[in-house]
Amino acid sequence: MSRIVSHLDTTSDSYRHNHAEMTRRVQALRELTHKVRHERPARDVERLHRQKKLTVRERLDLLLDPGTPFLELSTLAANRAYGGEVHGAGCVSGIGIVSGREVVIHADDPSIKGGAWYPLTIKKIVRTLDIALENRLPVIHLCDSAGGFLPLQSELFPDRYAAGRIFRNQCTLSKLGVPQIAVVLGHCTAGGAYIPALCDYSVIVRGNGGVFLGGPPLVKAATGEVVTAEALGGADMHTSVSGTCDYPADDEPHAFAIARDILAQTTPIEKTRIDRVEPEDPHHDPAELYGIIPADWKTGFDMREVIARIVDGSRFHEYQPHYGSTLVCGFARIWGCKVGILANNGVLFNDSSLKAAHFMRLCDRDRTPLVFLQNITGYMVGREYEERGITKDGAKMIMTQVGCSVPKFTVIVGGSFGAGNYGMCGRAYDGRFLWMWPQSQIAVMGAEQAANTLAEVKIRQLERKGHRLDEAEIAAIREPVLQRFRAESDAYHSTSELWDDGILDPLDTRNALGMAIVASLNAPFGEPGYGVLRL
Amino acid sequence: MTDIRKLFIANRAEIALRIVRSARRLGIATVVPWHAQDRHGPALAEADETVQVFGEPPVSAWLDAAAMIRAALDSGCDALHPGYGFLSENAGFARAVAAAGLVFVGPDAAAIELMGDKISARKFALAHDVPVTPSADEADDPATFAERARAVGFPLLIKGAAGGGGKGMQIVRDGAALADAIAVARSESQRYFGDGRLFAERYVERPRHIEVQVFGDRQGHVIHLGERECSIQRRFQKLIEETPAPGLAGGLRDRICSAAVRLAQAAGYVNAGTVECIVSPDGEFFFLEMNTRLQVEHPVTEMVTGLDLVELQLRIAQGEPLPLAQADVRWHGHAIECRLLAEDADAGFVPDTGRVRLLRVPQGPGLRFDGGVTEGAPVTAAFDSMLAKLVTHGATRELALSRARQALADTVMLGVTLNADFLSRVLQHPAFAAGETDTGFIERHRDALKPAALSDAERRLLLAVAARALHEPAARPLSLPHAAMGAWRN
Amino acid sequence: MNAFHFSDTPQRRHRVHRQPGSDQVVVDGKHVAVQALGGGRFRALLDGRPQQLHAVPDGDAVLVQWRGRAWRIERIDATRANAAAAGSEAGVSHAPMPGVVVSLQAAAGQRVSEGEALLVIESMKLQMTITAACSGTVQALPVAAGQTFQRGAVLAQVKPDEEAR
């Protein structure tokens, strides 16, 4: 496989301008990430202290193998919701290494509203467990939550993928033979009590840990019985009388030592084998990624320059290099693993759609995981293309993509608009992981186009009633729509709503994909296949 | 003169090996006994023959005179070396050995008897112009003992007449404590030596323990091989010995040595012996006792004189005359011996037991390591806690000291707590370096001799090594890409 | 990652993680590289200067020697019940289930070693021996042969030996 030849001019004004802009965006991302990870109200920090509890970051430090990587997911969940106060949606999720094994971690953050579960918290936990299910990764739950956030109960309790889904996922994980360990560091009340109960192993901290379907206040209200939390569902009772929990721990460090020990003795599984060799760092400097992505998303760029700075040795075997040029397809390696890459270099035409379908079939049949680098405004429109069957061809691309049973990974590098999102494996298409870049956009159409369209409708309506609007009035209708669309299409909104698994610094993309791909090998691949192609 | 052809060594551990080595050099075959609970002695691999002995507790096997003699005869030996401790100062044993037709490598039974009894030894010394501390012997008049003891003057030492090794001793500083001290000393002496007879003598404050190595032959020649300072003691047991005694005035040294020779000559002493004295801070010396055997610390004398004392013992036992006259004896440089004991010196010198899991003997110029254990040997309460002697020599005391400190740091013995680091701290103490040694040294400088606390970085070092040393069969190496990503976070 | 402690300071725990297949060890969050030279010898840096140490495992503990001093370092088994937590309960044996005393194997005032038989009980047609939880002196055996008891009843009290160190 030969190296991609780069045509990037790092001395050009546009490079410098792009670089500065991306640097600024990444800096803003880092600042917000830092705030979300570490800034806490003093009162909450003091309360943790008094309760002799560690912060969620300190807990992770004790749990994870020192000197190993940790891929945190959806760090900025809920950053645009609940007044921006529920950092990370009140929990931390990620993939890390514990006792030498890849695991998924779900850790409640008791320093955020007592670790209460908001609707987006539930969504994050369910997503975390879905990741565990799809990739067959062992799960460690660090349980320390005040329970569901009552005022929003209608959004977190009744629906199919709401709170109940957490426990359903746990049961399914168990049925599939995926180990789960719960470390009970606080109270697990009502529904929350089922988390440790549905885990294979549970560790509970004396004095702080408690598992009960009804806490002391509820018990007193229900039957008049007066009982302390420790006696009702504390460590000693559950580990020696009821058998609900397995290992009592004297304190949190002890609990993590036990959890590590438990995991160390579980039988490791054989990973699915794919084409894998010794990894190689990219030949072209990944730092140049900052200068490649245009500050204005409407400006195009060559995705090959991005690929060259992510893949091993910048080596890329391009498939159909002269056909369907708006979609770049080819084989490369990421951290040694061979993958098939599809990357947008413009809108999708008939030929690029067909090329995508054929390429994805090759990868599916040959058990090559797929990586989608999105920067798509949509499929081509117009009479010529409709007569050529662009709708059919787009359908074939989507049909093939859905049929793929190899793991799929998506990074929204630029824009992700309309049906282009579908063909290129957007969120709805069961990719194992999906990430945004700081300047990415996602919407059914671009904000300007949407604002123009809606303003147009309003203007026509008013004109029919006899109003002729001047420029200022048109702007007054258009602007709010534009602002709203802009806000709802940016990466921070997407990540707030958990439409993605996090916003990545472009420089982190290679490591994130590397970890994700090897994590996905813990599950077996399904059989290749697909539905009916409208030929 | 009778050539010894085969020697039975009625001892064990380091001294047995020591004797085997010299005997072998002289072409003498050797036989060393072993016990089921003492099968790891280093001498056993080097002796020509070994013979199993029996007894419970194990030390009783070496205290069984008849069994020792029988083992010697059965293995065709014509001589027996008693080493030190055990039966080496038992006149009856010496007699029985001779009566069995074996050459006893040591003095005559009469000399052992004379010097074995502290009271008769003191009388003898007095009679031959060797100064002794003012004293009172209970046996003279039991009824007036307490009074006569009081008359000796305070401070006073009450001890068992038949004892030694620091047991059954009480220091009394004023008259009020006298009666109790006598009672305690009596019951301890009875318990340890089976003899409650007491002796009282003036106690010298800050005494230095100075002893003289003497040698006599059957032809009547007696020489001395210099003095040794053995003041660094704990519970009256020696830990560090050296020669020459630092800061000992030349005139005083000569007087002590010639007194020792005079005593040995008068007693018609044959073979190796050591005259022990205490020296007061004002330069007075008093005869303490004479040990009628080879001493543990003899190597320091060997290092400065270049002589092999065990070889001398064997030659004298064969009837040869001493190969050198007093004028021929030369002393070069300085030697120090450290006794490595299986005890926790920082926890009150509590003995430790275990098994020698790892043993690495230090090496270097001017260094001699007389080891009594091998790797894998169990260390139990059944035997003496001395595991080895580390002896260093140098042209100057500083050099010998420096070599000793380095050797202690280089000695690796894992499995039992060793006092090596404690000894190193003693050697590093400015008072020791200045030669301000007396038998109260360790007690007086107790606080300064405490070990330094570990820094956090030092703790981490030790913990990291511990983690590497632990055998973890189930650990699997981290694979790529995680192994190459280090502690990456997004 | 394991918890280790020096045997003379058991309450002070250290987190130690050895990365298998590498020379790196992480102790309390800090990296230390230790080379194994074979024969119980190890080399590591302290303040940039190389040190030579010796170490030999002894069960779940390690004996380490450095510059003439030796230490015993123990690895803590996280899952074993923490005896220190039950300090006030040390040496007390409770009945695991209701039953009857078959025979007494020791007497008050007797010195016993850890694991030595104190009494034999029977329950549900099963006999079991209650052994001393620690070495020490039997303070009390408050039951007699033929006596029945409930679950949790105190069957024996042993006063633990004083720590030698």
Q: Chains near B, with 3+ CB pairs < 8 A?
A: A, C
Q: Is the dihedral of CA B294, B298, B303, B305 positive or negative?
A: negative
CA-CA distances (angstroms) from residue C40 to A398, B359, B468, B475, C37? 63, 10, 10, 20, 7
Tell me if B467 and C64 make a contact (CB, 8 A cut-off): no
CB contact under 8 A, C19 and A65: yes
Contact C76/B at CB under 8 A: no
Q: Which residue of A has its CA nearest to B481?
A: A335
pLDDT at C88 over 50: no
Nearest by CB to residue C25, choosing from B358, B360, B468, is B468
CB atoms C58 and B470 under 8 Å: no
pLDDT per residue over A450-479, tens digit each? Answer: 888 888 888 888 888 888 888 888 888 889
For residue A292, pLDDT over 60 is answered with: yes
For residue A525, what are its two tokens? 């691949």
Alpha-carbon span B91 to B107, nearest angstrom: 9
Answer whether C51's CB lies under 8 Å from C66's CB: yes
Asked if residue C84 is part of any domain, the answer here is no
What is the domain count for chain C?
2
Instruction: Decide if B481 and A518 are in contact by the 8 Å CB cutoff.
Output: yes
pLDDT value of position C84: 42
Measured between alpha carbons, how far is B23 from B83 in angstroms, rounded to an integer? 13
Where residue C124 falls among pLDDT bands split at 50, 70, 90? low
Q: Quick one: pLDDT at residue B165?
A: 63
Mean pLDDT of B136-164: 84
CA of B472: which chain A residue's CA is closest? A264
Residue A431 and residue A437 in contact, taking contact as beta carbons nearer than 8 Å: no
Please list every residue in chain C whose beta carbon sits closer than 8 Å to the beta carbon of residue B341.
Answer: none
Is A247 in CB contact (< 8 Å) with chain C? yes
Interface check B453 vs C, CB under 8 A: no
Q: Are residues C106 and C154 in the same domain?
A: yes
Region B314-323 average pLDDT: 96
**Smallest CA–CA separation between A502 and chain B, in Å?**
10
> A512 and B476: CB-CB below 8 Å?
no
- Min Cα–Cα distance to chain A from B487, Å: 4
Neighbours of chain C (3+ CB pairs under 8 A): A, B
Catalytic residues of B: 293
Digit-coded pLDDT (tens) for B341-388: 999 898 888 888 889 999 999 999 999 999 999 999 999 888 888 999
**How do B79-81 and B6-9 pair as beta strands?**
parallel
Domain carrying residue C129: 90-164
Instruction: Identify whether C119 is part of a domain.
Output: yes
Which residue from A minimizes the CA distance to C82?
A250
CATH of domain B6-105: 3.40.50.20
A261 to chain C, any CB pair closer than 8 A? The answer is yes
Nearest CA in chain B to A277: B480
Say what percent of chain A tops pLDDT 70. Answer: 100
- Contact between B111 and B267 under an 8 Å Cβ cutoff? The reply is yes
Q: Considering the domain boundaries, does residue C133 fall inside one?
A: yes
The band of C89, judged by pLDDT with boundaries at 50, 70 and 90, is low
Helix, strand, or coil (residue A411): strand
Q: Does C80 reside within a domain? A: no
Question: Rounded to an integer, what is the distance from CA B378 to the centroid of its chain?
Answer: 21
Do C66 and C104 lie in one domain? The reply is no
Q: Right CATH number for B134-202 from 3.40.718.10, 3.40.50.2300, 3.50.50.60, 3.30.1490.20? A: 3.30.1490.20
Q: Do C99 and C59 have their domain in common?
A: no
**Pairs across A and C, CB distance < 8 A:** 42
- For the record, the structure tokens of A219 come out as 């018990």
Q: Is residue C81 included in any domain, yes or no?
A: no
- Which residue among C44, C75, C106 closes a domain? C75
Q: How confident is the model at residue B99 (pLDDT cuts 50, 70, 90)?
A: very high
The reported pLDDT for the residue numbered B348 is 83
* Span B195-205, pLDDT tens digits: 788 888 888 88
Residue A376 pLDDT > 60, yes or no? yes
The 3 state secondary structure assigned to chain B is CCCCCEEEECCCHHHHHHHHHHHHHCCCEEEEEEECCECCCHHHHHCCEEEECCCCCCHHHHCCHHHHHHHHHHCCCCEEECCCCCCCCCHHHHHHHHHCCCEECCCCHHHHHHHHCHHHHHHHHHHCCCCECCEEEHHHCHHHHHHHHHHHCCCEEEEECCCCCCCCEEEECCHHHHHHHHHHHHHHHHHHHCCCCEEEEECCCCCEEEEEEEEECCCCCEEEEEEEEEEEEECCEEEEEEECCCCCCHHHHHHHHHHHHHHHHHCCCCEEEEEEEEECCCCCEEEEEEECCCCCCHHHHHHHHCCCHHHHHHHHHCCCCCCCCHHHCCCCCEEEEEEEECEEHHHCCEECCEECCEEECCCCCCEEEEECCCCCCEECCCCCCEEEEEEEEECCHHHHHHHHHHHHHHCEEECCCCCHHHHHHHHHCHHHHCCCCCCCHHHHCCCCCCCCCCCHHHHHHHHHHHHHHCCCCCCCCCCCCHHHHCCCEC
- The architecture (CATH level 2) of B208-444 comes to 2-Layer Sandwich (3.30)
Nearest Cα to Cα of residue B127 among B280, B266, B276:
B266
Please check the confidence at residue A17 and state whether its pLDDT lies above 90. Answer: yes
Extents of the domains making up chain B? 6-105, 134-202, 208-444
Mean pLDDT in residue range A263-273 = 91
8 A C-beta contact, residue C102 and residue C145: yes
Alpha carbons B457 and B318: distance in angstroms, whole number: 60
Q: What is the pLDDT of residue A101?
A: 93
* A-interface mutation test, from C1, C19, C27, C60, most A Cβ less than 10 A away: C1
One domain for residues C157 and C107: yes
CATH number at residue C155: 2.40.50.100
CB distance from C67 to chain B under 8 Å?
yes
Average pLDDT over residues A185-194: 91
